[in-house]
Amino acid sequence: MIKFLEKLLNIIYIQSCYFCKSTKDESIICKDCYNKIHFLPPSVLRRLNNSDTYACCIYDGIIKKLIRDLKYNNKKKLAPLGANFLYEYIQKLNLNSDYVIIPVPISKGRLKERHYNHMDIIAEKLSKLTKHKTEKNLIIRIKDTKKQYKLHKQERIENIKDAFKINTEINLQKNTPLLIIDDITSTGITFQEIIKELKNAGYNEITAIALSTPDIWN
């Protein structure tokens, strides 16, 4: 009877890989799936408005599923995994030891639609791992932008132009180093706009990291 119960409990509680459903590693991601991720070296992807921007992985396969399901399918349990990948990447960079984590915001309209900003959740998890503070209200998204991936490069630039402003009510020293985090950087235009606004507001030490990028070869 006890053996039977043990078996039953194992069936219920054994963690299976979210991506391939295998239970052999009893982890949310198995080794095989982890090995399929194309992690990128800790080198600058683009320098935008005199700030370094980076990307952690290529946006394909496992990472694509992670981001999409976390963002659109309410799979918040995937956030620690995203935070962990960013954490591993950040440790390879020579960042200022006092940085504050700034997740890229979504608009009020989109927040109403989705009920949460997935990057806020990743930022909270990353905050726990790094022991660095998160300030999710420093940047405000004032424009309800169209979904970037549906647009061509020029349209993306127009779409995101002046989409952000800095919240002057947030009490953060201007010399605080900022670490902006986002899920995907494609043309770099989102990072560029945010960095521009932050620099106009007087912040000068800014680094930006995306969990993924689809186009490192461009």
> Which positions lie near Zn ion, rule CB under 5 A?
17, 19-20, 22, 30, 33
Tell me whether residue 29 or residue 160 sits nearer to Zn ion (CB atom).
29
Tokens, residue 105: 């915001």
Neighbours of 195 (CB within 10 A): 24
Tell me whether residue 75 or residue 199 sits nearer to Zn ion (CB atom).
75
Q: How far is the CB of 82 from Zn ion (least distance, A)?
A: 16
Neighbours of 170 (CB within 10 A): 13
Tell me whether residue 29 or residue 119 sits nearer to Zn ion (CB atom).
29
Q: How far is the CB of 32 from Zn ion (least distance, A)?
A: 5
Q: How far is the CB of 16 from Zn ion (least distance, A)?
A: 8
In the structure, how many helices (H) and strands (E) does the chain have?
8, 7
CA distances from 34 to 56, 81, 96, 190 (A): 14, 11, 29, 28
Q: How far is the CB of 118 from Zn ion (least distance, A)?
A: 21
Tell me whether residue 61 or residue 177 sits nearer to Zn ion (CB atom).
61
Q: How far is the CB of 15 from Zn ion (least distance, A)?
A: 11
Q: Are 58 and 38 in contact (CB under 8 A)?
A: yes
> What is the DSSP annotation of 48-81?
ETTEEEEEEEESSHHHHHHHHHHHHS--GGGHHH
Q: How far is the CB of 194 from Zn ion (least distance, A)?
A: 34
Burial of 144 from C-beta contacts in 10 A (0-12 / 13-18 / 19+)? exposed
Extended strands (E) in the chain: 46-48, 51-58, 100-103, 139-141, 164-166, 178-184, 206-213
Tell me whether residue 15 or residue 167 sits nearer to Zn ion (CB atom).
15
